[in-house]
Amino acid sequence: MPISEQALRNREYWDRQSDEYQAIHGPQLNVDDLVWGAWSIREAEVGALGEVEGKDILELGCGAARWSIELARRGARPVGLDSSARQLEHARRLLAEAGMEFPLVRASAEEIPLPEESFDIVFSDHGALTWADPHVVVPEVARVLRAGGILAFNVSSPLLLMCSNKGADTRLHRSYFELDAAPEGDGAADYKLTDGGWIRLLRANGFSIEALTELRPSEGATTTYTDYVHYDWARSWPGEHLWKARKR
């Protein structure tokens, strides 16, 4: 099955956007640690991935592969997948700087060119569960995970998506029940699901729901993603939802 038109438009967007993105956000993302989302919440505090040493790990929407590089340092065997060739050029540059080698795969997560049951952990930090169709990606993840494997992914919370208005304010600008409509228009667009929608999609693909961590910036935290969510908002309401599910 070919990948969706929307995923192709998103690929073009990331190819165009990649250099500017890496220039603006690179400084925040270069931290030599495993950190989630706009506020760099430490994986050590969240525990979404569990033990990583010796594990086969697939990063969906790896961008410049900073997560995967740090995972390799910790003894994991990572594979970085991204739909954007330009993003993967940044990843190759960082791998060379780190003196590392692991596979980088240019593909949409809607069609993962990797064998069945080949990973212990699949994860995404605002990656392919946002920029590709989750109704296609989640079955693909179920296919490449081993039994008992973990899927962890960070996405914008439904509340942030409803309150978004060049950043976020306290008004509900859009209906909850329209959030999971397929993206429209001819530009880049993100996919959104309600909380109940995620639970049903994961369950239908053989996953148990293990945790939903509502990410909150630590006191005084800063971010380079200032047009995404403001500190005061994110201290009161969870702007990011980190789901953890396990293949049964």
Q: Which chain residues interact with another protein by CB under 8 A?
A: 159, 162-163, 170-172, 175-177, 194-196, 199-200, 203, 208-214, 216, 235-238, 241
Spacing of C-alpha 180 from chain mean position? 17
CB closer to another protein out of 117 and 210: 210
CA-nearest of 227, 243, 238 to 164 is 227
Q: Under a CB-based contact definition with an 8 Å cutoff, are residues 167 and 230 in contact?
A: yes
CB closer to another protein out of 108 and 157: 157
Phi, psi of 230 (to 5 degrees): -90, 155
Strand-pair partners of 145: 119
CA neighbours closer than 13 Å in the CB half-sphere of residue 47? 3
CB closer to another protein out of 15 and 195: 195
Residue 120's contacts (CB-CB under 8 Å, 6 or more residues apart) are 55, 56, 57, 145, 146, 149, 150
CA-nearest of 225, 134, 222 to 183 is 134
CB closer to another protein out of 66 and 241: 241
Q: In angstroms, rounded to a whole number, what is the distance separating the alpha carbons of residues 240 and 248?
A: 25
CB closer to another protein out of 13 and 237: 237
